[in-house]
Homo-oligomer: A and B are copies of this chain.
């Protein structure tokens, strides 16, 4: 098993901080746990850690960084050594609200990442104390009432390189993937646990680097995904993909855009992988052409749009969806 336990939090950048915050609080139903300068730290009701989302004001949208927690101090050291060997290490910093020192690095596509070990356990204030002690916080029922951060999907110019880094250096398990007829690997579903995915890489059709495809938050039932779609509709959240079931990994999804332009998913379901000898299941081009599990065609934007915008077409798409449309980043080379 891996030295790493789970994705502890993700930092998302937004050029529209207040509108984005309103989305996470009112529509997704998250709680503000802390504020510090340009950042607001938000949590879901089912998370043991203090927060899973750090929302940071920025001139553009996209991923700030992603932090993964190790199983132990020793496990952290082992992974840091492996990253340093890989040549993608950057170095330690003192930590942030809610966690101790962190080792920063990038994946081969340039996404900023951190490894941490020391982390606080959340203690709910009186008004958020749950009736049952085995959940960290009461479920207020507000908005979609997401339970926890589920997975992060990153765009990458070279999916195979990122997948290899995730498996060989970080210790993720590779459960599913997409391989085109020409041999190109265009998607990789990776996990640190029995859950079908915790980190996903998909090919960046814009040829850009370091971009975010989406962040997914978990709810316990498909009915909550359907309910979330009704809330998205009445809140004026642009629904990119209405609730349905993925073929790959089998999860149930709802995709929309937060005001900052970042794609967000409300998800549930999927499979658990218990086979110690599980081999990656590679989907073919012909299979993917069939659409999602029940035949729903994936909308074109899902294949090309990410944050920050990489080209003018991304910007135009964001404008049409009624969300922030910062100028496309000119960075098309990885950091």
Contacts and interface: CB of A to CB of B under 8 A. Distances in A.
Interface of A: 1-2, 5-6, 46, 48-49, 69-72, 121, 130-135, 138-144, 148, 176, 193-195, 220-224, 226-227, 229-234, 236, 239, 242-245, 247-250, 269, 271-278, 281, 283, 287, 292-296
A226 B231 CA distance: 19
Contacts of A70: 276
Contacts of A295: 239, 242
Contacts of A292: 242
A43 B287 CA distance: 27
Interface of A is mostly: loop
Contact of A274 (B6, B138, B144): B6
A230 B296 contact: no
A248 to B, nearest CB: 7
B72 A276 contact: yes
Contacts of A239: 294-295
A222 B229 CA distance: 14
A135 B271 contact: yes
Contact of A134 (B46, B244, B277, B281): B281
A1 B176 CA distance: 23
A106 to B, nearest CB: 24
Nearest to A138: B234
A141 B220 contact: no
Contacts of A244: 242-244
Contacts of A293: 132, 229-230, 233
Given A70-B276, A223-B221, A248 B143 contact: no
Contacts of A222: 221-223, 226
B294 A229 contact: yes
Given A139-B230, A222-B221, A121 B1 contact: no
Given A70-B276, A195-B194, A226-B222, A242 B48 contact: no
A46 B271 contact: yes
A131 B277 contact: no
A138 B293 CA distance: 13
10 contacts: A48-B275, A49-B274, A133-B281, A139-B231, A140-B234, A222-B226, A229-B293, A230-B294, A233-B293, A242-B245
Contact of A49 (B1, B231, B275): B275
B134 A250 contact: yes
A286 to B, nearest CB: 12
Contacts of A233: 131-132, 293-294
A25 to B, nearest CB: 13
A292 B226 CA distance: 13
Contacts of A223: 221-224
A130 B234 contact: yes
A283 B278 CA distance: 37
Nearest to A7: B274
**Most-contacted residue by chain B among A69, A226, A292 (CB, 10 A):** A226
A141 B143 contact: yes
A134 B48 contact: no
A239 B296 CA distance: 9
